[in-house]
Amino acid sequence: MIEDKNQQRTQLSDLGEFGLIDHLTKNFEIKHKSTVKGIGDDAAVLGFKNKNIVITTDLLVEGVHFDLSYMPLKHLGYKSVIVNLSDVYAMNAEATQITVSIAVSNRFPLEALEDLYVGIETAAKIYNIDVVGGDTTSSTTGLLISVTAIGEVKSNNEVYRDGAKPNDLLVVTGDLGAAYMGLQVLEREKEVYKVNPNSQPDLSPYSYIIERQLKPEARKDIIKLLKDLEVKPSSMIDISDGLSSEIIHLCKQSKVGCDVYEEKIPLDPQVISTCEEFNIDSTTVALNGGEDYELLFTMSQDDYSKIKANPNLTVIGYMKVAQVGIHLVTRADTKIPIKAQGWKNFNV
Ligand SMILES: [Mg+2]
């Protein structure tokens, strides 16, 4: 699990900034017509016709957002792209381009950055996006990665956070809490490794939750699915900080309330068994865990027949008038107000 990343070490100073950029970006291909000019000039040129453009950016900082002792650089590159694409899809848009900027200290040799860029390249291939620019600079402490993603959406097809109406269904994709429990397992193994570097943990019972933490996917497929089903969400957000804080965003911005049913929250069996092992409540994990990168959206009840029985989509509640408030309806049928307790990196 904890890799000795680099046998070979090529000093970054041997290449220089432009040599480094050329080296790291030489495999990137252009796939979209909207990419008029990619890497290689002062700026990229993008041409979009009759489309609205969405832009989103994210900054990942070593020690705050990731820990390289269990996060291989390849996975980190992949994940840094995914977290941005997830925000593009949350607008009901198609992701088309990204830029990638890194600040890196001299403890990273070229081979480490190559791993990072293999991850970026893999994500770009799988999600069909062009890498059109970026910046590379030095840092005195650790690694910083900033990715900006650009997407396109037909005018009026974009979906915001503020369109939910009372009586709308609240729907979530996939399952929740796995990335957080994967992190708990990785943190535990890191402590074990510190005490006994020769330990060979059997992580196979945790394969799904660890993959959800180290190699999350963004729900590009859902944007297509909704289009095929002819369902346009009334509001949508991606779940990066935990279900409860995203529900609160939708409710506050749409000026509505909500009832969420505990028994409806989708959990993978591995999440349930690992929660039992760690003695953590699985509902708490689903509500507050974060980093699931699933989509949470609201839609009219009139369209319910279109999504009924779809294994990707789970109705977990109903939107209410604002005065009712935002509640979890527990299995015991009591109502508990939902409060945001998502990731708070500033409190770490
Ligand atoms: Mg988001």
Q: Please give the distance, rounded to the nearest whole angstrom, from the Cα atom of residue 123 to the centre of ligand 1.
A: 18
293 alpha carbon – ligand 1 mean position (Å): 8
- On whether both 42 and 129 belong to a single domain, the answer is yes
CATH number assigned to the domain comprising residue 64: 3.30.1330.10
Same domain, 222 and 248: yes
Q: Is 117 marked as binding a ligand?
A: yes
Are residues 104 and 142 part of one domain? yes
Q: Does 276 fall in a domain?
A: yes
The predicted pLDDT at position 347 comes to 39
Q: Quick one: pLDDT band at residue 183, thresholds 50, 70, 90?
A: very high
Same domain, 146 and 177: no
In a domain, 3, yes or no: no
Residue 344 scores a pLDDT above 60? no
Q: In terms of residue numbers, what domain contains 110?
A: 12-154
Residue pLDDT, tens place only, 213-240 = 999 999 999 999 999 999 999 999 999 9
What separation in Å is there between the alpha carbon of 10 and the centre of ligand 1? 37
What is the rounded average pLDDT of the residues 336-345? 69
CA terminus-to-terminus distance, the chain: 25
Annotated binding residue at 32?
Answer: no
Among the candidates 104, 120, 154, a domain finishes at 154
Instruction: Determine the distance from the C-alpha atom of residue 247 to the mean position of all C-alpha atoms in its chain, rounded to a whole number.
Output: 16
C-beta atoms surrounding 257 within 10 Å: 18
In a domain, 162, yes or no: no
| 86 Cα to the center of ligand 1, angstroms | 7
Tell me, in angstroms, the distance from the centre of ligand 1 to residue 34's CA: 24
Give the least confident one: 37-41, 117-121, 247-251. Answer: 37-41
145 and 173 together in one domain:
no
Query: What is the chain's mean pLDDT, rounded?
Result: 91
Centre of ligand 1 to C-alpha 148, Å, is: 13
What residues does the ion ligand 1 have nearby, CB within 5 Å? 87, 238
87 labeled part of a ligand binding site: yes
Please tell me whether 67 is known to bind a ligand: no
The total number of structural domains in the chain stands at 2
Alpha-carbon distance of 86 to 98, in angstroms, equals: 12
> Which is higher by pLDDT, 291 or 17?
291
134: annotated binding-site residue? yes
Residues 329 and 306 in one domain: yes
327 is annotated as contributing to ligand binding: no
127 is in an annotated binding site: no
Residue at 160 is within a domain:
no
317 is known to lie in a ligand binding site: no
